[in-house]
Amino acid sequence: MTKPTGIEAEPQRVGNEAPSSAQEVARWRFFRGFRRIWHGMHFVGVLAAGITIFVALVRAKAPPEFLDLTLPPMPVAAITAEEGDHPSTITAYGEVVARRSADIRAIVGGPILRVSEHFANGAPVVAGEVLLELDPFEYERRVEETAAAVREAEARLMENRETNHHQMHLVALAEERRNLTRTEYERQVDLAEQNVSARRTLEAAQSQLAAAEADLTQRRQQATASTARIAQQEAIVERLRATEARSRRALSDTQIRAAFDGYLAQVSGDLGQQIKAGERIARLIDTAMLEVRFFIPEGQLARLVEIADKGIGAICVVSWRTDAGIRTYSARVTRIEGEIQTNRAGVNVYARISDADLESDPIRPGAFVQVELFEETHVRTFQVPSEAVRAGPSLLVATEGIAVVRSVTVVARADRRVLVRGDLAPGEAVILTRSGELHPGDAIAVVGNGALGGQ
């Protein structure tokens, strides 16, 4: 093989022929060392070029951007605290019920003959107003029959009294006759003792006395029987009069009337309809005696009792929310159930609504209402929503974008509102947002703020 020529070429040797002279050996060694140096310089040059290129690339690279790991402010809702005098209240919910209601039922049966124009669901009626009238024909005939029977019995009573009067007169005559015959008998006895009168005359006088005694006894028995017949006839007259009164009452019951002022519900019945005795035709609800029944937890019962004498007479405000707005009524507690309901841990309380007029007011039994009972007024307190109060108790307020804790004392609780005193200052923004990630010292951003008044 032919080796390359030039600066890197070595002296040519044929086969394994050794250099022929020392000069050639030296030359051969020189070229071999030079080649090694050349290869080393080539390697160093490539390495230097690589380092130069790497340094240039590093210098040309943009400086690194470091991530900002700072958390953004947490958005919170807050409300401005205002100091003032606030009454504590007990808030409950319940429904309107009728204090007095009655089922209107037919006392007697029969076909409906007339119907009042007010006989309809929701119609107001007054006490004594005729709602329905049944056919009175049969009941009028019964009245006539019982009245005739009474007159007949009274005539017999009059006859018995006349007979008794005659019998008593006969008794008086028999007593007079007996007295005369006794006097005659006693005179004959005296004459017989003086041997002036015959024995036959004495026996005749004795016989007449015995006959007079027997006649008197018979007259007395007849008079007694006549008196008994009078008593019997008087009882018959009274019984017939009672029957007549019932028949007249049944006749009057054909007119079904309203027992008290109110309005009708669950109306059933129309002209010509046959109804039975005892059948319910409507329900009458008293307009002047509406109550609200609401539930008080066991824990608030003591507070209610402290408002008034055992809670009776406590004044409350009833609010009824409708599409047209909120209607409010005044009410007064009239009674509290006697025992606590163990399954609900509380009692039902009844308050009578005093200013509801169903003729002009749409409220009806069954309406769902809110009830507020007012307790004492707490001066210089802050009213905050219950969700703003934290453990301690304490509040978080927004100060220059930082959540700061304020220690407070809970004065009273009312539904979802709490009255507090403490380190809170008027005008501070009380944080309402509840979050497990919000702690004192955290950065915050208030996104909603409002005034907390003293309703």
CB 333 within 8 A of CB 312: yes
Which of helix, strand or coil describes residue 265?
A: strand
Q: Which helix (H) or strand (E) holds 282?
A: strand 280-286
What CATH architecture applies to the domain 93-98+288-375? Answer: Beta Barrel (2.40)
Please tell me the predicted confidence (pLDDT) of residue 4. Answer: 46
Q: Give me the long-range contacts of 301-304 (CB less than 8 A, separation at least 24).
A: 301/340, 301/346, 301/347, 303/90, 303/375, 304/90, 304/333, 304/336, 304/349, 304/373
Please tell me the predicted confidence (pLDDT) of residue 104. Answer: 93
Question: Nearest to residue 118, comparing CAs of 102, 105, 130?
Answer: 130
Low-confidence ranges of the chain (pLDDT < 50): 1-11, 14-16, 18, 452-455
Identity of the amino acid at 54: F
Please tell me the predicted confidence (pLDDT) of residue 394. Answer: 84
Residue 347, φ and ψ in degrees, nearest 5:
-135, 160
Please tell me the predicted confidence (pLDDT) of residue 435. Answer: 63
**Antiparallel, parallel or unpaired: β 74-80 and 429-431:** antiparallel
Please tell me the predicted confidence (pLDDT) of residue 231. Answer: 93
Whole-model pTM: value is: 0.55
Please tell me the predicted confidence (pLDDT) of residue 15. Answer: 46
232, two tokens: 């019997």
The CATH label, of 3.90.1010.10, 3.30.70.100, 2.40.420.20, 1.10.274.10, for the domain at 76-89+378-448 is: 2.40.420.20
Question: Nearest to residue 250, comparing CAs of 150, 106, 128?
Answer: 106
What CATH architecture applies to the domain 101-135+254-284? Answer: Beta Barrel (2.40)
Please tell me the predicted confidence (pLDDT) of residue 86. Answer: 78
Please tell me the predicted confidence (pLDDT) of residue 95. Answer: 93
C-alpha pair distances (Å), 303 with each of 24, 337, 378, 412 = 127, 16, 15, 11
Question: pLDDT (tens digit, 9 = 90+) per residue, 42-55?
Answer: 777 778 888 888 78
Please tell me the predicted confidence (pLDDT) of residue 235. Answer: 94
Question: pLDDT (tens digit, 9 = 90+) per residue, 113-140?
Answer: 999 999 999 888 999 999 999 999 999 9
